[in-house]
């Protein structure tokens, strides 16, 4: 997806809202590790714990977009 300079200039404070569905056994643990190492990332990221990436129903993803997510990440 190309983001032109125009867009960046007109909306300098814009932060994408990202919902990440993270598998409890790997990606969620990875997000915990990021915390442990004090890696900073935008606060607009929301992580939802799932027991497996296989648990992520497409309905959840659509619902997240409906709620205003700009991007959804399924990690596992």
Contacts with other proteins by CB under 8 A lie at: 17, 19, 24, 28-29, 31-32, 34-36, 38-41, 43, 46-52, 54-60, 63-64, 67-69
Name which of 2 and 13 has its Cβ closer to other proteins.
Answer: 13
Q: Shortest gap between Cβ of 25 and other proteins (angstroms)?
A: 9
Distance CA 58, CA 60 (A): 5
Residue closer to other proteins, measured from CB, 1 or 36: 36
The token pair at 44 is 């607009």
Shortest spacing between CB 2 and other proteins, in angstroms:
26
User: Which residue, among 51, 63, 59, has the nearest Cα to 23 in the 3D structure?
Assistant: 51
Q: Is the dihedral of CA 53, 56, 58, 61 positive or negative?
A: negative
């Amino acid at each position: 997806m190309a983001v032109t300079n125009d867009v960046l200039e007109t909306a300098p404070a814009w932060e994408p809202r990202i919902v990440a569905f993270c598998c409890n056994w790997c990606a969620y643990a990875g997000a915990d590790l990021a915390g442990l190492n004090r890696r900073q990332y935008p606060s607009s990221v929301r992580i939802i714990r799932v027991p497996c990436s296989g648990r992520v129903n497409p309905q959840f993803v659509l619902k997240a977009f409906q709620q205003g997510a700009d991007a959804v990440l399924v990690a596992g």
